[in-house]
Amino acid sequence: MKTRYTLALSIILTACAITSTALHAAESQPNDIPRRADGKPDFNGVWQVLNTANYDLLAHPARVAMATQPGPFGPVPAVEVVALGAIGAVPSGHGVVIGNEIPYLPYALKKQQDNQANWLTTDPEIRCYLPGVPRATYLPFPFQIFHSDSALFITYEFAGATRNLELTDPGEAPVDSWMGQSVASWDGDTLVVKVTGQNDQTWLDRSGTHHSEAMVVTERYTLQNAHVMDYEATIEDPKTFSRPWTIRMPVYKRVGVDAQLGQFKCVEFVEELMYGKLRKEPLPAAAPSP
């Protein structure tokens, strides 16, 4: 009797263990990841971040967006941007840099500090220049990925920026450009994109994080499910940083009527900022709000 009981118990426990293992395996399989006919993850869709990385990649408290030079508010000194109240402030953020440190070389740290102090007149975003990579991903604007069997293409709402992800390495970029050259490959279910050939004119955030023309960015796009994508970018630039460093953040798929891009061709918005000083008769100062 005891032997039968022991045998039955053993069978039950073994069955439970097998069932548990099977369930765990099923849970670990990315069954809810949309896939294309070739089995690769399907990245088609409109995506957008929900963070404050564009203000500052590092962890930061809420603060007033101060500057030491006149900014894009007509004749009002940028140091008085506090008069704008909450819209002239930077929201707090937990940071997206792994380790919460950007390893600047000494001269590069000084340049970042100067950039941050004068961002209202020098940030390329304010002047509507193309954002570069990786900043294009975490601007407060959506972007759309077009993914077919033979092509990968990303278009961004901000300034109409675009990227064609080369599926065959064409070799060294023929010339430096604002968005650089992107070459894509696969690491399992992760889309890996190596970006080279960017000029040194873009910033990585409004806090003045900068780079040289030697920067190489390696992006990793990984679907977590049908609605969330993990984005990771490793920055290598021996002219600016003492070692490679990495940012990481979730990106979310927009749905419904929001699953489309609007237009934000901002060149016309910055004409006064960039060329207003050339007016023979400056525009009158704007009256302060009541």
At 136, list the tokens.
């294009």
The residue assigned the tokens 């900068």 is 210
Q: How far apart are CA 209 and CA 5, in angstroms?
A: 70
**How much is the pLDDT for 66?**
61
Cα dist from 211 to 65, 188, 216, 219, whole Å: 22, 30, 10, 16
Residue-by-residue DSSP string for 168-210: S---S-SS-BSS-EEEEEEETTEEEEEEE-B-S---SSTT---
Q: How far apart are CA 40 and CA 200, in angstroms?
A: 34
**How much is the pLDDT for 24?**
45
Strands 162-166 and 181-187, bridge-based pairing: parallel
Residue partners of 191: CB distance under 8 A and separation at least 6: 41, 43, 152, 184, 220, 221, 222
At 20, list the tokens.
């548990």
Report which of residues 171 and 63 the model is more confident about: 171
Q: How far apart are CA 180 and CA 162, in angstroms?
A: 10
> Do the Cβ atoms of 54 and 93 come closer than 8 Å?
no
Q: What digits encode the pLDDT tens for the residues 124-170?
A: 999 999 999 999 999 999 999 999 999 999 999 999 999 999 999 99
Domain 45-57+95-278: CATH superfamily is Calycin beta-barrel core domain (2.40.128.20)
Q: How far apart are CA 112 and CA 71, in angstroms?
A: 18
Q: What digits encode the pLDDT tens for the residues 39-68?
A: 999 999 999 999 999 999 999 999 877 655
Q: What digits encode the pLDDT tens for the residues 194-238?
A: 999 999 999 999 999 999 999 999 999 999 999 999 999 999 999
Statement: residue 18 has pLDDT above 50: no
Q: How far apart are CA 150 and CA 103, in angstroms?
A: 38
Residue partners of 27: CB distance under 8 A and separation at least 6: none
Residue partners of 171: CB distance under 8 A and separation at least 6: none
